[in-house]
Chains A and B, each alone.
Chain A
């Protein structure tokens, strides 16, 4: 004989507004995305920092030749593209959460989120175009500013 209710017994429906299920699971997917992208970004960004700030001559090595030499390799193009997209979605979703937390008026939230999504779109589109349309050896540029691969060209 049990004298107390089985904790797993179905509960009576709560009076008043319960969980609104009409909005779907978007927030759940966002929660999962933050964790999955967070792990990937840890690897992507730590490697990015290592290659540009620690290995070689550190920050003093970073110039056009350095970036062009890196992007001459499709591996680093894909690396940086993945980093750009994941970081921008992760960061934009974080900023969205913060706006939702602190901006109480509907109009304030609308303005802040519009600015946020505009910035997201501009930066992601611009960054993606730059990675894919980049020319490591632009015609007419001084040879000493270009990566080594340019001098091997016919």
Chain B
């Protein structure tokens, strides 16, 4: 809220936020948020991968040990976490393709914002197909 007092204290107009495409490529827009999301999903997938190799290694202990631990993946809480994991993998994969297009496609840097929304759209589309199938397997009894 601009009061008369603050206007007096700051006679010079505050610098306006740079308009789209001017100034900085990354800060606060699709470029930055795709970068943040790529890191967050990457780190999450990495830690899952460590756990996933360890749980799979139980096949070397005994069939019972493996089945006991893998049974944990089938409970509803883990089922929802898996859905999040698959979403993270799908986004990371599609955004990785976007990064390569920015790197190697002659027009990639000009269209990186549009491509970010294509990545988001494709991720939503894949998850819309995956979620019913997966949640039925998790919650469908049987």
CB-based contact A38/B100 at 8 Å:
yes
Of B53, B63, B64, B73, the residue contacting A59 (CB under 8 A) is B73
Return B96 CB to nearest CB of chain A, in Å.
5
Cα A97 to Cα B56 with chains together (Å): 28
Contact B100 A59 (CB under 8 A): no
Contact of B57 with A126 in the complex, beta carbons under 8 Å? yes
B56 and A130 form a contact (CB under 8 A): yes
SS class of chain B's interface: helix, strand, loop or mixed?
helix
Provide the residues of chain B in CB contact with A58, threshold 8 Å: 133-134, 136-138
CA distance A98 to B38 in the complex (A): 11
Closest to B86 in A: A49
Q: Are A45 and B93 in contact (CB under 8 A)?
A: yes
User: Given A62-B73, A68-B59, are A123 and B79 neighbors across the interface (CB < 8 Å)?
Assistant: no
Contact A64 B67, beta carbon cutoff 8 Å: yes
Q: How far is the CA of A80 from the CA of B49 in the complex (A)?
A: 13
- Measured CB to CB, the closest approach of chain A to B41, in angstroms, equals 10
- Interface footprint category on A: 35 or more
Tell which of B74, B97, B103 touches A60, judged by Cβ atoms closer than 8 Å.
Answer: B74
Distance (whole angstroms) from the CB of B16 to the closest CB of chain A: 30
- Mask, B65-89, CB within 8 Å of A = 1, is 0110010011000010010001001
Give the A-B contact count at a CB cut-off of 8 A: 106
Please tell me if B62 contacts chain A, counting CB pairs below 8 Å: yes
Q: Does the CB pair B59–A130 fall under 8 Å?
A: yes
A37 (CB) vs chain B CBs: closest residue: B96
Q: Are B70 and A138 interface neighbours, CB within 8 A? A: no
A29 within 8 A of B: no
Interface size in chain B (residues, C-beta < 8 A): 38
Q: For residues 128 through 142 of chain B, which have their beta carbon under 8 Å from a beta carbon of chain A? A: 130, 133-134, 136-138, 142
A60–B64 CB distance below 8 A: no
**Interchain CB contact (< 8 A) of A88 among B43, B49, B86:** B49
B46 at the interface (CB under 8 A from A): yes
Q: Does A78 contact B (CB under 8 A)?
A: no
Instruction: Give Cα distance in the complex from A123 to B82, angstroms.
Output: 21
Mask for A118-154, Cβ within 8 A of B = 1, else 0?
Answer: 0100010011011001100010011001100000000
Besides A53-B134, A59-B134, A130-B56, 4 other A-B contacts (C-beta < 8 A) = A41-B93, A42-B93, A98-B39, A123-B53
